[in-house]
């Protein structure tokens, strides 16, 4: 690995108040990262996204120093009432739960108490474990349903310059509770930086979690997020992801359906252009009987956009009556765009229904012709068709005000095409 990207273990000493055990844990992870370096395409999970090459091409050195997180006032969304927390450069700054009962919610800075070594397959996770010292930790008590959605404003300040940020977040939802969150990314930095997040979401029995992730402004950020989600019996998880606009973005999502009758629903729509590189990788582990999972990933790609979808459904031998579905659709609008997919099934139980589909191609000429006969010009027709293609995902959002908000964001992108 190139010396510039090695990280000195003195960085760990800068993290205050850590036990000996934690220090060892961090040093082990750091050594592992320094040995392996950024993952490259020789690793199966990174086959289509060679991060090492991307980092070497775009960064001269990496800055792990703490950044000054001065914030100006965040422009809150006025479209609908909501609770919010502010996260600046990965660090929890403030929270506001004015619509909820305060005693049901616990929120604090993340503090790691689990020093078991996780898989060593992903050096970025190791790097995160070695250096992360910030992030949020939310816990919801049992039997509490949120009245309004919680917006998480993820702000990146203009002080960031070739920085690498590591943060860890955790959300735990108690029995029969319900939480809706919206992740919003606001980027003020004009420089390149790397954001490396490790997220842990735990759903107890009957819990419901809905998440919408929006990130659509053009930015120079390089994002990597690993999310590990645990679903207990009869819990429901649904996630809508609308990522685009980043130089590099990899979402690595792992769902463990550990309780019977749990359900997971994942949908994504993105519009990638001008050198965007985006990968969504999912691992849906069906570990208990009668679970359901549904994945739909839609991508529109133009001028040098590159999209990747790697999805895996794993069904353990005891997970009978599993129903799992996976669909990836891509529209390639220009010849320099590229879409790679690897929809994988690994099944050890026989009484299951598992299927997947993957397509990629251009906008249907017949449809364009039809619209043109109705008086639209070619560009308008294409836009309308793209809008229809992506809106299918947006339409699945239940709340009208949120749906309207998401749609306006998406349409802004399509309009710019």
Q: Which is nearer to another protein, 337 or 413 (CB)?
A: 337
Lookup: tokens for 404: 């309207």
**Least separation, in Å, of the C-beta of 266 and another protein?**
18
Binding residues vs another protein (CB under 8 A):
44, 317-318, 320, 330, 332-335, 337-362
Q: Which is nearer to another protein, 308 or 397 (CB)?
A: 308
Lookup: tokens for 342: 């690897």
Tell me the backbone φ, ψ of residue 326, rounded to 5 degrees.
-145, 125
**Least separation, in Å, of the C-beta of 338 and another protein?**
5
Q: Which is nearer to another protein, 221 or 307 (CB)?
A: 307
Cβ-defined contacts of 2-10 (< 8 Å, 24+):
2/37, 2/56, 4/59, 4/60, 4/61, 4/62, 5/37, 5/38, 5/55, 5/56, 5/59, 5/61, 5/62, 6/34, 7/33, 7/34, 7/62, 7/64, 7/127, 7/130, 7/131
Q: Which is nearer to another protein, 113 or 335 (CB)?
A: 335
**Least separation, in Å, of the C-beta of 352 and another protein?**
6
**Least separation, in Å, of the C-beta of 332 and another protein?**
4
**Least separation, in Å, of the C-beta of 415 and another protein?**
21
**Least separation, in Å, of the C-beta of 340 and another protein?**
5
Cα(146)–Cα(182) distance, rounded to whole angstroms?
Answer: 13
Cα(115)–Cα(364) distance, rounded to whole angstroms?
Answer: 52
Q: Which residues of 14-30 are buried (b: 16+ CB within 10 A; e: fewer)?
A: eeeebeeebeebbebbb
3-state secondary structure of 109: strand
Q: Which is nearer to another protein, 48 or 84 (CB)?
A: 48
For the chain, the straight-line distance linking the first and the last C-alpha, in angstroms and rounded, comes to: 39
Write out 310-365 in H/E/C secondary structure.
Answer: EEEEEECCCCCCCEEEEEEEEEECCCCCEEEEEEEEEECCCCCEEEEEEEEECCCH
Q: Which is nearer to another protein, 64 or 384 (CB)?
A: 384
**Least separation, in Å, of the C-beta of 363 and another protein?**
9
Q: Which is nearer to another protein, 197 or 332 (CB)?
A: 332
Using the Cα atoms of residue 177, residue 134, residue 69 and residue 276 in order, give the sign of their dihedral: negative
**Least separation, in Å, of the C-beta of 31 and another protein?**
26
DSSP category for residue 145: B
Lookup: tokens for 201: 């979401």
Q: Which is nearer to another protein, 361 or 388 (CB)?
A: 361
């Amino acid at each position: 690995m190139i010396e510039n990207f090695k990280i000195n273990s003195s960085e760990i000493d800068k993290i205050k108040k850590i036990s000996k055990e934690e220090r060892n844990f961090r040093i082990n992870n750091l050594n592992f990262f320094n040995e392996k370096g950024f993952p490259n395409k020789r690793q199966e999970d990174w086959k289509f996204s060679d991060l090492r090459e991307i980092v070497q091409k775009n960064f001269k050195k990496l800055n792990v120093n703490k950044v000054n997180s001065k914030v100006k006032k965040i422009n809150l969304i006025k479209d609908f009432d909501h609770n919010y927390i502010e996260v600046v450069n990965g660090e929890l700054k403030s929270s506001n739960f004015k619509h909820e009962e305060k005693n049901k919610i616990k929120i604090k800075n993340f503090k790691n108490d689990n020093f078991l070594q996780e898989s060593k397959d992903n050096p970025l996770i190791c790097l995160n474990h070695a250096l992360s010292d910030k992030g949020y930790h939310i816990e919801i008590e049992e039997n509490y349903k949120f009245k309004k959605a919680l917006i998480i404003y993820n702000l990146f300040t203009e002080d960031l310059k070739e920085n690498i940020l590591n943060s860890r977040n955790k959300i735990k939802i108690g029995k029969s509770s319900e939480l809706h969150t919206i992740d919003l990314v606001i980027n003020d930095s004009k420089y390149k930086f790397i954001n490396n997040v490790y997220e842990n979401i735990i759903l107890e029995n009957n819990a419901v979690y809905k998440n919408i992730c929006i990130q659509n402004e053009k930015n120079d950020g390089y994002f990597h997020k690993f999310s590990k989600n645990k679903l207990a019996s009869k819990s429901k998880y649904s996630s809508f992801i609308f990522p685009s606009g980043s130089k590099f973005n990899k979402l690595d999502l792992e769902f463990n359906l550990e309780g019977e009758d749990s359900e997971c629903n994942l949908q994504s729509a993105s519009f990638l252009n001008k050198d965007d590189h985006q990968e969504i990788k999912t691992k849906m582990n069906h570990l208990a009987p009668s679970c359901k999972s549904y994945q739909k990933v839609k991508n529109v790609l133009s001028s040098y956009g590159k999209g990747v979808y790697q999805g895996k459904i794993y069904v353990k031998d005891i997970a009978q009556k599993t129903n799992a579905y996976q669909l990836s659709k891509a529209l390639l609008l220009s010849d320099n765009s590229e879409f790679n997919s690897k929809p994988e099934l690994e099944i050890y139980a026989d009484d299951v229904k598992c299927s997947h589909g993957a397509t990629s191609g251009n906008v249907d000429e017949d449809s364009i012709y039809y619209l043109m006969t109705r008086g639209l010009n070619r560009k308008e027709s294409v836009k309308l068709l793209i809008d229809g293609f992506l809106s299918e995902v947006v339409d699945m959002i239940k709340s009208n005000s949120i749906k309207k908000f998401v749609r306006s964001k998406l349409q802004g992108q399509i309009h710019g095409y």
